[in-house]
Structure 1
Amino acid sequence: MENHHGNFKGIIAIIIASFLWGTTGTAASYSPDVSPLAIGAFSMGIGGVLLVITARKKLFIDYKLMSKLPKVLLLGAVSIAIYPLAFYTSMHLSGVAIGTVVSIATAPFFAAILERLISKKNISLQWILSFVIGAIGIALLTLGKDQSNNTAYSIHQQSIGIILGCIAGLTYAGYSWAARCLIESGVHSKSSMSGLFGCAALLLLPSLWFTGDNLFSSSTNTLVSLYMAVIPMFLGYLLFGFGLSFIDASKATLITLIEPLVATVLAVFIIGERFKMIGWVGIALVSICLLMQTIKPQSQL
């Protein structure tokens, strides 16, 4: 019963984190003159610094345990460093909705493969079914983008955006797996997330020297930059780390499919991106995929 209760708490934490992350694309659209590389590096880098500051006591206790897994630490940190650069550039090239959907929706697939190949964990039938439904939903959503009103995203641009989205999905799965691996080896969830993000910040923040021209050039840009770093990145990943202490990475990344749904709804109602009927069918399928994971929590995944 305790396990089931913990499972539920973990799911709720990751759902809230996903809602926060779903706002990032729309927030970034208010700073069109800021490079997507700068937005990614600043938000993830500062978020990482904040995570380290808040978890410093736990980190001091756990750092010896973490240093015994240098490959996991390196994989996680490099994944976190690549993820925001690929993710925000993907949204910039293919639109907020498609960039977010592809980036997040490919992550469960990569996470399950990592768990199978490295951790030797079995993949449940429920996971496979929900993944297939989610994957079909993603494909329909991508096909359902209404291009008639928006010539800004050429087919070539969109294709590159989708490829970058897949890279973001792979790196997202990579750091989710690394965080879960550290937690399973006895590291506290706060230490594991802050340790990985702190190492990534060392890689990301120096890149702002080349890309961060307009981050604070206006009050809007300043507000967007600070919002992205503090709310979705710092608070979101604090919740995500908490969730990972209860459930596996493949399940956590499936639950985060709620993020592209939030991003799509915001992109439609606030930015004015448009979708054909087939796109909304895709959104419905992604919702079903999510429900399959959350209604009947399975502890054996």
Structure 2
Amino acid sequence: MSGILAIVVASVLWGTTGTVARFADDVSALATGAFAMGMGGVLLALTAGRVLLLDKKKLWASPGWLCVGGLSVAIYPLAFYSAMQLAGVAIGTVVSIASAPLFAVIMECLIGRKMPTFQWCLSFAVGVAGVLLLTLGQHQEASLAGSVPERYAGMVLGLLAGLAYATYAWGAKRMISRGVHSSSAMAGMFGVAALVLLPSLTFTGSNLFATATHAGVALYMAVVPMFLGYLCFSYGLRYVDVSRATLLTLLEPVVAVLLAVAVLGERFLALGWLGMVLILVSMVLQTGRPLLLRRRAVRLSRHTVRE
């Protein structure tokens, strides 16, 4: 249960990124993403310094996953924030996050040789239906904010972000399963990503700290959703499969939409709100059944002891 709760907290923190980024609209999305993930990686590496040293040999025993995971971490923010800028906060977030569970379960089947359960498939189907309704429920005026090619380009970048997200989550899980501490696995990948992302600010980050608002947005993104969010997510991966963890993060677009409506004034039709309900139902399906099974197991064990 603690692993699920940690992933839910991470999802809520991540759901704030799109709305917060809009307060620095004239800052390049590439600069925002590069600074947030890059500095988040530096903070993760600094706080995990001791366990990183202890796990150094274990990390280099899986150099492929460390490098692939690190590059995926570097690709994710660039694709994610660009998707939101081109397709809108809600749609960019929805496509990016909703595609990640599918990519994760494909990796689980191909690499982990583990087929998805009926519970996961049902939860995923309900979640995808919710995502589709959420997308269709975007108000027409908001959906026409950009040109058609820009919206489609944003959706493609959202799919790339989903693939990158699933890849580094899977990489972290593989390293954790081989004895690497969760903090070391995440800090190692984010450290590799920081080596790629932070130098890119030379070309994209000229306006990043131009005003107090820009600076506040940049620091918030690095510290809260990236550093704290990924601390929670790495802890959750100790106890939760990647396919299930990425499915639970469908909560992120719900948070993003609620904030987009409350703070940015975006409007959604009834279909959008129904979609959010379905996403929440998807999460209940994913978390409720195991809890019921555990309670039954506890009751049976108590009954056996009494006998």
Question: Structure 2 length normalisation: TM-score?
Answer: 0.93
Partner of 1:153: 146
Specify the SS of the correspondent of 2:55. helix
Specify the SS of the correspondent of 1:295. helix
Distance 2:270 2:54 in 1: 53
Aligned-residue offset at 1:122? 2.1
Distance 1:244 1:168 in 2: 19
Q: 2:14 aligns with which of 21, 39, 42?
A: 21
Specify the SS of the correspondent of 2:91. helix
Distance 2:136 2:144 in 1: 15
Distance 2:147 2:258 in 1: 22
Q: Deviations over 1:34-85 (max 9, x none)?
A: 0000000000000000000000100001011111111111110111000000
Q: 1:263 aligns with which of 234, 253, 256?
A: 256
Distance 1:289 1:150 in 2: 25
Q: How does 1:110-125 map to 2 (within 5 A)?
A: 110-125=103-118
The answer to whether the aligner puts 1:247 opposite 2:240 as a matched pair is yes
Of 140-149 and 195-204, more deviation after overlay is shown by 140-149
Distance 1:254 1:152 in 2: 29
Specify every segment of 5 or more residues in structure 1 that has no aligned partner in the other structure, as ranges: 1-7
What amino acid is the match of 2:173? R
Q: 2:277 aligns with which of 279, 284, 287?
A: 284
Q: 1:34 aligns with which of 9, 23, 27?
A: 27
Aligned-residue offset at 1:130? 0.8
Aligned-residue offset at 1:137? 1.2
Partner of 2:303: none
Q: How does 1:90-169 map to 2 (within 5 A)?
A: 90-148=83-141, 151-169=144-162
Aligned-residue offset at 1:145? 1.1
What is the total number of aligned residue pairs between the two structures? 292
Q: CA RMSD in A?
A: 1.2
Specify the SS of the correspondent of 1:186. coil
Aligned-residue offset at 1:155? 2.3
The answer to whether the aligner puts 1:296 opposite 2:289 as a matched pair is yes
Partner of 1:4: none
The answer to whether the aligner puts 1:219 opposite 2:212 as a matched pair is yes
Specify every segment of 5 or more residues in structure 2 that has no aligned partner in the other structure, as ranges: 294-307
Q: Deviations over 1:122-181 (max 9, x none)?
A: 210010111111111111111221122564222221111111111100100000000000
Q: Between the two proteins, what is the percent identity of the paired residues? A: 55
Distance 1:42 1:137 in 2: 32
User: Which is greater in Rg?
Assistant: 2
Specify the SS of the correspondent of 2:67. helix
Question: Structure 1 length normalisation: TM-score?
Answer: 0.95
Distance 1:15 1:101 in 2: 16
Structure 1 runs of 4+ aligned residues shifted over 4 Å read none
Partner of 2:297: none
The answer to whether the aligner puts 1:180 opposite 2:180 as a matched pair is no
Distance 1:35 1:44 in 2: 14
